[in-house]
Amino acid sequence: MATPQTTIDSPPVAPATLAREPSRGFAIATVIFAVALAIAPHVGFYPVFLMKALCFALFACAFNLLLGFGGLLSFGHAMFLGTASYVSAHAAKVWGFPPELAILSGTLVATALGIVTGALAIRRQGIYFAMITLAMAQMIFFYYLQAPFTHGEDGIQAVPRGRMFGVIDLADPLAMYYTVLVIFLAGFLLIYRVVHSPFGDVLKAIRDNEPRAISLGYDAQLFKLLAFVLSAALAGLAGATKAIVFQLASLTDVQWQMSGEVVLMTLLGGMGTIFGPVVGAFAIISIENYFARFGEWVTVLTGAIFVVCVLAFRRGIVGELAAWWSRRRRA
């Protein structure tokens, strides 16, 4: 009579251990990324270029919070970037606000605009939601084109950088750069925390299956509104900071092309990933910077690169790399 063989299975991995692995990987990647950015100005990278890339990276991360994790496509996100830019520049130049208060003022006004726009837009879904945001953005654009305080097509120029908290002289390029870096990292880590919080879990559930989330008792409209407002606030933070960096607020930041550009950054880097919008923003800003000598052809070049990346990297650059690494670990 054959005796049954006993097998010793390996102990199951605790869920907490599985949960810690992505967090540990994110922490390592973030530290490496932050250290690389901290030393970048000292190894030949132009601080103004890096500051521009960081501002747009924060803008793209804010947009990705809405699109990648909330499933809401906005065609008018430039209105938050441009509004905060104008308010921050006006507050610093005309009202004499220090840079921290100027940036805060721009962010708060963008947040208020996000509340109004979001309350109207989230009543619809899909393309109707996108069209409402686009219509609102165009209204804001034409208002800024005619408003006296924006100076029309000339914009608000010669915005003083001032001293942050009365101590840090932002006229120093390196001081300005590290201030922008701290602002970006704060916004970036806030987005990560939101996405990996219970609020973020509900938001992703609404994105994947809104009727089921509603049947579980969640107020989908409220969660989408909160995500929209938070995205608008972070986009405003990027715009307000950018106005101080470049000492300029112009119509460029509120045009519909800017809304399209942030969509491009997000899709190129990887929608629904944490680092994707950062990679996409740095890629697009690098293309615009280093191929500027081609003039208007840089737009064609950017479009061609986008088409190639969409065909070759359906999940975006970071999304494809994450999928490749996942397959490699399973092999």
Q: Which pLDDT belongs to residue 21?
A: 52
Rounded to whole angstroms, the Cα distance separating 10 from 194 reads 35
Question: How far is residue 164's CA from residue 170's CA, in Å, rounded to a whole number?
Answer: 7
Find the helix packing angle between 78-93 and 99-121, rounded to 10°: 150
The whole-number pLDDT of residue 8 equals 40
pLDDT at residue 235, as a whole number: 96
Radius of gyration of the chain (CA): 22
pLDDT the model gives residue 35: 94
* pLDDT at position 86: 96
110 lies in some domain? yes
Q: Does any domain span residue 202? A: yes
Q: What is the number of domains present in the chain?
A: 1
Per-residue tokens: 199:
């609020």
The range of the structural domain enclosing residue 204 comes to 44-255
pLDDT tens track for 225-267: 999 999 999 999 999 999 999 999 999 999 988 998 999 899 8
Residue 119 lies in a domain: yes
Please check whether residue 28 lies inside any domain of the structure. no
pLDDT string in tens for the chain (331-residue length): 444 444 444 344 444 433 455 678 788 889 999 999 999 999 988 999 999 999 999 999 999 999 999 999 999 999 999 999 999 999 999 999 999 999 999 999 999 999 999 999 998 888 999 999 999 999 999 999 999 999 988 999 999 998 999 899 999 999 999 999 999 999 999 999 999 999 999 999 999 999 999 999 999 999 999 999 999 999 999 999 999 999 999 999 999 889 989 998 998 888 889 999 999 999 999 888 887 777 777 778 777 877 887 787 778 888 888 887 777 777 6
Give the pLDDT of residue 6.
Answer: 43
Identify the pLDDT of residue 146: 92
Looking at residue 74, the DSSP 8-state letter turns out to be -
Q: Is residue 145 domain-resident?
A: yes
Beta partners for residue 157, in sequence order: 248
Q: Is residue 132 part of a domain?
A: yes
Give the pLDDT confidence score for residue 22 in this predicted structure: 62
Quick one: pLDDT at residue 174? 94
Give residue 309's pLDDT.
76
* CB contact at 8 A, 77 and 235: yes
Residue 263 lies in a domain: no
**Residue 173: strand, helix, or coil:** helix
For residue 270, being part of any structural domain is answered with no
Neighbours of 248 (CB within 10 A): 18
Spatial separation of the C-alpha atoms in residues 77 and 137, rounded to whole Å: 7
The answer to whether 265 and 280 have CB atoms below 8 angstroms apart is yes
Strands 248-249, 168-169: pairing is unpaired
Tracing tokens 């692995």 back to the chain, one arrives at: 21
Q: Which two tokens stand for residue 3?
A: 């005796």
List CB contacts of 320: < 8 A, sequence separation 6 or more.
270, 313, 314
